[in-house]
Structure 1
Amino acid sequence: MKSFITCNDLHEVACVGPKYTWCNNKRGADRIMEKLDRCLVNATAFNSSHRLMVRHLTRLASDHYPILLKLLNFIPPNKKVLRFEEVWTSIPASVVVVRKSWNKNTKGDPSQALNLKLKRTLKDLHYWSKAKFKAMNLH
């Protein structure tokens, strides 16, 4: 399953509600609860301008908790595109900016964390560069 998820670039949507989605309907020490049901979306949906959320609903007649995918808060796409500038590699101080940005704690699964770290680092480099060149009266 992990291989299938990776090969198809699928990502799990963050969930709200009970942690587990299945119960064996027993009590006490015999009770088993697991997270079996998940909502996976491809990178296009995951990075869309809609915020995605999965809600684990109340379990009634089944041993599974129903899950509901919600599309929330349309976020207009950011019109400004930040691009990596090769000149940053020639400035030794940029390494400090990258290291500081990269070492910040990041939550989420590994692919989410990587995506967030890359976006944050690019943004930090952009603002660092803007401030540096403005201070040098080059902007």
Structure 2
Amino acid sequence: MICWNPQRVSISNIILDSQWITCDVESKQRGDYARVTFVYGHNSPTERIALWSYLSHQQTVNGPCPWMVTGDFNAIMHPSDRNGGDNSWANYMDDFPNCIAKAELMQIKGSGMRFTWHNGRQGDASILKKLDWAFGNHHLLAKWPLAQATFQARVASDHSPMVINLGPRPPRQGARFKFLNHWTKHEGFDRAVQLAWGVRVQGNPINRLTAKLRLLKGYLNNLHKAHRMACIVYVMKMARRLPALRIWAY
């Protein structure tokens, strides 16, 4: 069962099976889009073969888009993902990690409960396992590098609730600083260099050099804006004198 707030997201079903539901999720507020596969793995290793086969072959289908796979896989990735019970590692237990590798999925950073399932018994009969997982492909983690899955304390279920927060998208980086040769001909260039290099900076020689270069960058940007504004004012004055002439300000 999947429930959602229709005022915040729209969901389109892609494929429905007894062990998975794949759908497209789009935010109505920001327009962000991702494909999500919700998993509920069967108890039987034989029945889970269909799940591993589906996920393994979806890499070619969902590879070009942000894709998240999450839910109760009813399987562990490593022997350390369990505490108590039988410690043997059967051959079928390789199917899950092999599937994730073939699907080119990466685990979303997690926090909270280490083991997400408990058999409800105490003492020597107690068994803890990590059966609930959250994965994303390259495109999803590149779009939301701060994504995190939080596994909360168990309440009524024998599984831990899982909350996935994709987090804010990384801020758009501004244009890289470029030195323009014609700045050296601008009035005030020498003064800007003198002001930047005249600031007293503490630290080793490399730190002092980089700090003064950063200061100089600010002075040169201000110098560029001042000359650019002067050019715009000049063009506006010329435009008033020659109203029939079309002039573009850069």
Q: TM-score range by the shorter chain?
A: 0.5 to 0.7
Residue 102 (structure 2) pairs with residue 7 (structure 1): yes
Residue 58 of structure 1 aligns to which amino acid in structure 2?
A
Say which of 133, 136, 156 aligns to 1:61.
Answer: 156
Hey, which bits of structure 1, 4+ residues long, moved more than 6 A? Answer: none
Distance 1:15 1:75, change over 3 A: same
Which structure: greater strand fraction? 2
Q: Out of 20-29 and 45-54, give the one that drifted further.
A: 45-54
Distance 1:28 1:79 in 2: 58
Residue 52 (structure 2) pairs with residue 52 (structure 1): no
Residue 178 (structure 2) pairs with residue 76 (structure 1): no
Q: What stretches of structure 1 of length at least 5 have no aligned partner?
A: 82-139
SS of corresponding position for 2:148: strand
Say which of 112, 119, 129 aligns to 1:24.
Answer: 119
Distance 1:79 1:7 in 2: 37
The C-alpha deviation readout for 1:21-67, integer Å capped at 9, x for no partner, is 00011111211111111001111111224510001022111111111
Distance 2:151 2:99 in 1: 24
SS of corresponding position for 2:133: coil
SS of corresponding position for 2:101: helix
Residue 101 of structure 2 aligns to which amino acid in structure 1?
T
Distance 1:78 1:11, change over 3 A: farther
Q: What stretches of structure 2 of length at least 5 have no aligned partner?
A: 1-95, 177-250
SS of corresponding position for 2:99: helix
Residue 19 of structure 1 aligns to which amino acid in structure 2?
R
* Matched positions, count: 82
TM value normalised by structure 1: 0.52
Distance 1:49 1:80, change over 3 A: farther
SS of corresponding position for 2:157: coil
Q: Out of 50-59 and 17-26, give the one that drifted further.
A: 50-59
Trace 1:125-136 onto structure 2 (pairs within 5 A): none
Residue 134 of structure 2 aligns to which amino acid in structure 1?
C
Distance 1:76 1:28, change over 3 A: same
* % identical equivalent positions: 25
**Higher RCO (Cα < 8 Å, 6 or more apart):** 1
8 Å CA contact retained: 1:49, 1:77: no
TM value normalised by structure 2: 0.30
